[in-house]
Chain A
Amino acid sequence: MTAKNIFTRPKSLRDVPTHYCPGCGHGIVHSLICEVIDELNIREKTIGIAPVGCAVLAYDYWDFDVTEAAHGRPPAVATGIKRILPSNIVFTYQGDGDLAAIGTAETIHAANRGENITTIFVNNGIYGMTGGQMAPTTLLKQKTKTTPFGRDKIREGYPLKISEMLAVLDGVAYLERVSVHKPANVRAAKRAIKRAFKTQIEKKGFSMVEVISMCPVNWGTSCEGAIKWIEDNIIKYYPLGILRGDKS
């Protein structure tokens, strides 16, 4: 009997320990992206854009060309790269603060221009890197460093439904919200990420996957508690599913 290797590290993912906290979803999302890049055989033409936020060091983990971008500006940087290198695959990896607060204008306009790029939007409803402040997607009543009494709709307004906003734009070819809190969801997330990259390969326009992800450390809960928080609260406000594109 010879041992059969049925699971290996994706080639696009470097064999190094990450700096992410226990229970964090970033590692899962990184892996999914790398698996998809391997499966589509596009590692040698992929250019990633690492954000400002917890994933700022993504280029230490990904084994392909990566540039940093200022906070909120990845869609503009991606626009510049893709317009110069239209046959390369260009994607941005952005958190909720980056994509839906400081970079809202860049996000909406890149999507609306139908830039043929892919955005992976990791939504964990909190600013992780800076220590747990309110994000545009923090839920009502959720406590953070800057909403110590819970997010108040009068004081802080409502959690931003940025994907729903983007879904009405004609430049958007494909937009889906997924989650990585359970194995079945992880598998669905991978399918969505693959479809997003394929959308770009087929030159159909802007594609985005919003990934609901866990941040147990800054949510002040355990890994199990984080999964329950997503199940009971987040996906009730941010329902999973395809927001734009064929529902097949």
Chain B
Amino acid sequence: MTKKIRNPKSQIPKLKYTLMTGNEAIGEAAVAAGCRLYAGYPITPQNELTAYMSKRMVEEGRVFIQSESELAAINMVFGASVAGARAMTSSSSPGISLKQEGISYLAGCELPAVIVNIMRGGPGLGNIAPAQSDYFQATRGGGHGDYRTIALAPSSVEEAVELTRLAFDLADKYRGPVLVIGDGILGQMMEPVKNSKFEIRNSKLLPKPWALTGAKGRKPNIIRSLYLKPGALEEFNKKLQRKYEEIKEKETRFEEALTRDAELIIVAYGTTSRIAKAAAQNLRKKNKKAGLIRPITLWPFPDKAIKEVAKNAKAFLVVEMSNGQMVEDVELAAKGRRPVHFYGRSGGGVPTPEEIEKEALKVMSSWFVDKKPRTTN
């Protein structure tokens, strides 16, 4: 079953860069990260990832399973994680809804796993075009119970490689499921990736003394999320919250561009952030002071960064491929100190730099209409 087949043709060629789709790049990143089991079920727009893994995992003598459902896939990942292996599944929005049961159990059992969501339009079957409408699901826990999942949002194919590798490390470090959140564009577009990004690192993986491997020479290990004794679950949930506080402290990631003297801060993530960055640059050419904050971790959200820029900026403009989800986190972080505006496209609509520029100018021009200077607190 796990015979190693070497196919020289599918090895990364010895060029400095390789042109890859986001889906393939995430797959190769998982291989490089030492993922030993991948299970998945076909759904557009992430099919290339499942297909890629069906080839690469077998070549590497690792486990690939096309599962009977998303539920089965996430539970196969659960099983591999129970056995101490790095494991990954991927899907797109409707399939990620099905995986929520398993994600909740992974969080409750404190099991590491990587789950990739290449988002498409919803609700329901929606369509197969790119979207960012699963932000709430990714950042609020997603399934039942009091838990959070680290959610990493790459904005380029190369960054998808970096963040997929990081996802495996963080999952092991904090013993829990970690999400990689992309959209249909990121999954299907091709961009050059530096080949060195796939180099196998020799750093040792964290030991997993909690894994089930057979109780040889030790007491049996038990993996469970059931706490029936009065007070036991509350105690466990507090432990989880302490872990989440540590993650907030240590793992919040974001990028900022042109923010130092910016009057308008555009906040966007993933594909949208690239477009927003271009809009900010165009606005600068017109002497309009716009900047960008790009959350790289959607959870934990970079609220300190938002608070910091709120000191000098006049307003925020949040841009998403949804009807407004992350905007709530920006509002929470800005805490009413600065107005938070929103521009969104959904159902497959992708904003252009010009659209964002227009929205930004609308917000900025309103400052000159009411002449009263805004007070800062």
Contact with B along A81-99 (1 / 0, CB 8 A): 1111110100000000000
Q: Are B37 and A77 closer than 8 Å at their CB atoms?
A: no
Q: Within A10-68, which residues are at the interface with B (CB < 8 Å)?
A: 43-47, 50, 56-57, 59, 62-68
Rounded to whole angstroms, the CA-CA distance of A82 and B1 in the bound complex is: 11
List chain B residues, Cβ under 8 A from A73.
Answer: 71-72, 75, 78, 102
A105 contacts B by Cβ under 8 Å: yes
A208 contacts B by Cβ under 8 Å: no
A126 contacts B by Cβ under 8 Å: no
Q: Which interface class (under 10, 10 to 19, 20 to 34, 35 or more) fits B?
A: 35 or more
Rounded to whole angstroms, the CA-CA distance of A158 and B85 in the bound complex is: 42
Most chain A CB neighbours (cut-off 10 Å) among B69, B78, B214: B214
Contact with A along B74-104 (1 / 0, CB 8 A): 0111111111110100000000000001100
Question: Besides A47-B83, A88-B214, 12 other CB < 8 A contacts?
Answer: A56-B226, A64-B215, A65-B214, A67-B79, A73-B71, A76-B75, A76-B79, A77-B75, A80-B39, A80-B75, A83-B79, A84-B84
**Given A80-B79, A80-B83, are A105 and B212 also a contact pair (CB < 8 Å)?**
no
Q: Are B102 and A81 closer than 8 Å at their CB atoms?
A: no
Q: Are A80 and B214 closer than 8 Å at their CB atoms?
A: no
Q: Chain A: residues with CB nearer than 8 A to chain B? A: 43-47, 50, 56-57, 59, 62-70, 72-73, 76-86, 88, 105-106, 108-109
Which one of B60-68, B133-141, B232-240, B340-348 is at the interface?
B60-68
Q: Are B76 and A68 closer than 8 Å at their CB atoms?
A: no
**Given A81-B212, A84-B37, are A76 and B224 also a contact pair (CB < 8 Å)?**
no
Q: Are A79 and B220 closer than 8 Å at their CB atoms?
A: no
**In chain A, what residue has the closest Cβ to B212?**
A65
Q: Are B213 and A65 closer than 8 Å at their CB atoms?
A: yes
Rounded to whole angstroms, the CA-CA distance of A72 and B72 in the bound complex is: 10
List chain A residues, Cβ under 8 A from B102.
Answer: 70, 73
Q: Chain B: residues with CB nearer than 8 A to chain A? A: 1-2, 36-37, 39, 63, 65, 67-69, 71-73, 75-85, 87, 101-102, 105, 109, 212-217, 220-226
List chain A residues, Cβ under 8 A from B82.
Answer: 47, 67, 77, 80-81
Q: List 25 interface pairs A-B (beta carbons < 8 Å), by A numbering.
A: A44-B216, A47-B83, A65-B215, A68-B225, A69-B75, A70-B101, A73-B102, A76-B72, A77-B76, A79-B76, A80-B75, A80-B76, A80-B82, A80-B83, A81-B80, A81-B82, A83-B65, A83-B79, A84-B84, A86-B2, A105-B68, A105-B69, A106-B68, A106-B72, A109-B68
Q: Are A106 and B80 closer than 8 Å at their CB atoms?
A: no
List chain A residues, Cβ under 8 A from B222.
Answer: 59, 65-67
Kindly provide the distance from the CB of A142 to the nearest chain B CB, expressed in whole angstroms. Answer: 29
Most chain A CB neighbours (cut-off 10 Å) among B71, B72, B77: B72
Q: Are A88 and B2 closer than 8 Å at their CB atoms?
A: no
Kindly provide the distance from the CB of B81 to the nearest chain A CB, expressed in whole angstroms. Answer: 7
Rounded to whole angstroms, the CA-CA distance of A69 and B328 in the bound complex is: 35
List chain B residues, Cβ under 8 A from A63.
Answer: 215, 220
Residue among A56, A57, A64, A106 making CB contact with B75, cutoff 8 Å = A106
**In chain B, what residue has the closest Cβ to A88?**
B214
9 closest cross-chain pairs (CB), A and B: A80-B79, A76-B75, A45-B214, A44-B216, A77-B79, A109-B68, A80-B76, A84-B83, A67-B223
Kindly provide the distance from the CB of A13 to the nearest chain B CB, expressed in whole angstroms. Answer: 12
